[in-house]
Amino acid sequence: MRHPLPTHREPWPAVPSGRTLRLLVMLALWWCIPGLAQTQPDAPTPAQVLAMPGDTVKVLKLSDLCYAYRRVDADSARLFGEAALDLAKDLHYKRGEAQACNDLAILRIDRSDYAAADSLLRRSLDLRTQLQDSAGMAAVHNKLGIIFQSRFMLEEALEENLSALRIYERTGPPAHEAVILNNIAILRFNLNRLPEALATHQRAAAIRERIGDGAGLAASYGNMANVEAQLGDTAAAIAHFQAAITYFRDQHMMSELAVQLNNLAGIRMARGQLDEAADGYGEALTIRTKAGERKAIASSLIGLGGTRLRQGRITEARSLLLQALAMSRAVDARSEQMQALLDLARLYARTNRGDSSFFYHQRYAALKDSVFNEDMSARLALAETRFETEKKERRILEQRAEIAELEQESEHRKLWLVTAVGGSAVVAMAALLLLQVQRRRARARHDAAVIAERETGLRGILKATEAERTRIARELHDGVGQQLTGLKFRLEEIAAKVGNHLPLPADTVTEALAITSDAGREVRDIAHAMMPRALGELGLAAALSDMLKRTLGSAGIGHQLDQFGLDERLPQEVEVGLYRIAQELVQNTMKHAGARQVHLQLLKNQGHVVFIYEDDGKGFPPNRARDGIGLRNIRERVRAVQGVINIGNGARQGILATVRVPLHGGPIRTI
């Protein structure tokens, strides 16, 4: 039931034959390394264990040595574990075999060899299930969850942890149940199931409070605060963070204190309390620097750098973010690297250095794509390993059954072979036919979905076009039409007086001229709404600036427009398409986001134009479909200019939409 603490190490070396000889050689080396033979003074020495009779006690002692030496000498630990496994198999000692598989799996996890670890743990789980060893089964499920979580396979990790929880709920102890609940809550948080995550953290906190686990309760407070912050309940989040900070500060638990300070500073920054955020990030950075926790240091550097950027302290922000980027690369912290790259892109955009901003934005997108590709490769590799393992186990079972039948009667053996071969062929043919049918159905569903999406988008555009025509007709009829009718009456009155040689009242001519001016102004307003004059005469940037000022400025929403590399006009269809997309996004912000600031960037580089729109509103609600009419219209307009769009929630809050459009009619280059 030992729990591994995974670390990254070099791959396994090749293992020669002759395990007994190797153990004796390693034994000689232990006495040459000061202190190594004394790792566990109260336990038997390796020499004493090797000299023991080959019974079940020796199996367990070898497993103990495997676990004890895993951090001191991993190669020696592996030899002990393999010796324990071989002896347990020879003795048909299932409990010892399960323990040896468990300990060897921990070694594999330490070296990030997750495929081998998964195979060993599956064997251990099978043996412990046969033995009805509930505690051992729960421990294996927990380790399988660690493997899945390390490979970002969160749904599978959640299933394994739920299996462990069901066992601990029956058997205890409560401390283990609380730990598993904490793991489950974190997985649900990462899967964006926020209400479930909060309820699970509350269950863990209640157990820890009941058993008097102060440190665990403080950790639960911090975890609950993280979920509450994402749910928008910042008051509750701040209260829980402060409770956790108070406990860890009183207990001098500095590493845990730094975590809570860093998280609370994030909320302070989101609320605009920049001085308090800087103090929190600074204290966390000081603690982590003393401890030498490089990944954690990078996280605090990013938070402090982002705060300084918002405070306008550009030079300091740039230095902090570059330090964070270098440190996160050194420890291969992908999430921290992406956040540092994104913040640097924003910093250079704010200082009007478009090429640098675009450079860091490209690197951010490339890293994000690579993380996704590695995740998918890991999933495929694990699935393939599982399939091969299960296939081998099935073959072993089939061979045993065939041997038993052969020993009973030759006729039965022949009949069994014929039946097995025929049945296998039928099953294989049925499986192939079923697979082909499923593939065709899946392809048909995919094609139908694409067609339906296109039709929905076209209907949305047609509906919007028809609505625009109706609005223009109504404005022409109710506005310009009425004014022209009034002008007609005035002109008829003037013509009658002139025909009768009567004097013309001055106010009659004045009213006619005023009506003419009003009609002309209204016609210009209608024309501007259909196609802004600034877009035709001055270009996209000027038209967007005018539109933001008229729409957001009148609504009291701050806005900023940055442009880089737009020295020449873009093709007309690109300018019109991006202008309409911006209008749709602005309308979405005004109707739904509750934002206070909008930031829009235009960058032209390497044969394409990049359009980035960001607001600080509520963002998209979790677990809700994002296929409204407005978003469908945006996607259709992007498709019309042969572009691609990525739209979702920003790194901290609000929405972030990125559109990339080629300028020469070819397919866009993926970055």
What residue type is 392 in one-letter code?
K
**pLDDT at residue 667 above 60?**
no
Residue 337: pLDDT band (50, 70, 90) is: confident
The mean-pLDDT minimum among 9-23, 177-191, 385-399, 436-450 falls in 9-23
- Return the higher-pLDDT residue of 499 and 127: 127
- Return the higher-pLDDT residue of 543 and 389: 543
Most confidently modeled range among 12-26, 390-404, 613-627, 632-646: 632-646
- Return the higher-pLDDT residue of 324 and 480: 324
Concatenating the DSSP letter of every residue in 504-562 gives PPHHHHHHHHHHHHHHHHHHHHHHHHHS-HHHHHT-HHHHHHHHHIIIIITTT-EEEEE
Mean pLDDT to the nearest integer, 430-439: 86
Exposed/middle/buried for residue 582 (C-beta within 10 Å: 0-12, 13-18, 19+): buried
539-662: CATH topology is Heat Shock Protein 90 (3.30.565)
Torsion sign, CA atoms 278, 279, 284, 289: positive
Name the one residue in this structure whose structure tokens are 């003037």. 494
**pLDDT at residue 665 above 70?**
no
pLDDT at residue number 537: 76
**pLDDT at residue 23 above 50?**
no
Mean pLDDT to the nearest integer, 526-552: 77
| 483-510 pLDDT tens trace | 677 677 668 778 877 778 777 777 777 7
Residue 215: pLDDT band (50, 70, 90) is: very high
Q: Alpha-carbon distance 651 to 368, whole Å?
A: 13
| 30-85 pLDDT tens trace | 333 333 444 445 678 888 888 889 899 998 999 899 888 877 788 888 899 999 99
Mean pLDDT to the nearest integer, 109-119: 85
Q: Alpha-carbon distance 56 to 100, whole Å?
A: 12
Q: Alpha-carbon distance 554 to 569, whole Å?
A: 28
pLDDT at residue number 112: 76
List, in sequence order, every residue forming a beta bridge with 609; answer none if it has no partner. 604, 661
Concatenating the DSSP letter of every residue in 280-306 gives HHHHHHHHHHHHT-HHHHHHHHHHHHH
Residue 623: pLDDT band (50, 70, 90) is: low
Under the phi-then-psi rule, with left for phi > 0, alpha for psi from -120 to 50, and beta for the rest, what region is 623? left
pLDDT at residue number 375: 56
Average pLDDT, the chain: 80
Q: Alpha-carbon distance 11 to 49, whole Å?
A: 28
Most confidently modeled range among 4-13, 281-290, 520-529: 281-290
Q: Give residue 584's Cα distance to chain centre.
A: 26
pLDDT at residue number 417: 75
pLDDT at residue number 92: 93
Residue 28: pLDDT band (50, 70, 90) is: very low
pLDDT at residue number 371: 64
Helix (H), strand (E), coil (C) string for 603-654: EEECCEEEEEEEECCCCCCCCCCCCCHHHHHHHHHHHHCCCEEEEEECCCCC
- Domain limits, the chain: 16-111, 484-530, 539-662
Token couple for 20 = 């007994």
DSSP class of 563? E
Name the one residue in this structure whose structure tokens are 């035709």. 536
| 411-427 pLDDT tens trace | 766 677 778 788 888 88
What residue type is 130 in one-letter code?
Q
Exposed/middle/buried for residue 387 (C-beta within 10 Å: 0-12, 13-18, 19+): exposed
Mean pLDDT to the nearest integer, 638-644: 89
The contacts found for 85-93 with CB under 8 angstroms, 24 or more apart, are 86/19, 87/54, 87/58, 87/59, 87/62, 88/56, 88/59, 90/54, 91/54, 91/55, 91/56, 91/59, 93/56, 93/59
| 239-265 pLDDT tens trace | 999 999 999 999 999 989 999 999 999
pLDDT at residue number 477: 60
Q: Alpha-carbon distance 88 to 96, whole Å?
A: 6
Mean pLDDT to the nearest integer, 262-277: 90
Helix (H), strand (E), coil (C) string for 475-490: HHHHHHHHHHHHHHHH
pLDDT at residue number 9: 29
The mean-pLDDT minimum among 40-54, 180-194, 341-355, 648-662 falls in 40-54
pLDDT at residue number 531: 60
The mean-pLDDT minimum among 70-74, 78-82, 397-401, 648-652 falls in 397-401
644: phi then psi, degrees, rounded to nearest 5: -130, 150
Q: Are 278 and 248 in contact (CB under 8 A)?
A: no
Token couple for 54 = 């080959």
Burial 641-670 (b: 16+ CB within 10 A, else e): bbbbbebeeeeebbbbbbbbbbbeeeeeee
Mean pLDDT to the nearest integer, 634-661: 86
- Return the higher-pLDDT residue of 122 and 28: 122
Residue 660: pLDDT band (50, 70, 90) is: very high
- Return the higher-pLDDT residue of 31 and 518: 518
Mean pLDDT to the nearest integer, 146-161: 86
pLDDT at residue number 220: 93
pLDDT at residue number 314: 92
Mean pLDDT to the nearest integer, 151-163: 88
pLDDT at residue number 509: 74
pLDDT at residue number 629: 65
The mean-pLDDT minimum among 131-135, 179-183, 196-200, 632-636 falls in 632-636
Give me the helices (H) in 131-272, please: 134-150, 154-171, 174-190, 194-211, 214-231, 234-250, 254-270
Residue 293: pLDDT band (50, 70, 90) is: confident
pLDDT at residue number 644: 92
Mean pLDDT to the nearest integer, 608-630: 77
Residue 447: pLDDT band (50, 70, 90) is: confident
Q: Alpha-carbon distance 390 to 388, whole Å?
A: 6
pLDDT at residue number 627: 62
**pLDDT at residue 29 above 60?**
no
pLDDT at residue number 659: 93
Helix (H), strand (E), coil (C) string for 437-448: HHHHHHHHHHHH
pLDDT at residue number 206: 94
Vertex 31: Cα angle to 26 and 37 (nearest 5): 90
Mean pLDDT to the nearest integer, 560-582: 88
Q: Rounded to whole angstroms, what are the CA distances from 596 to 229, 548, 552, 613?
A: 19, 13, 10, 14
Most confidently modeled range among 1-15, 274-288, 502-516: 274-288
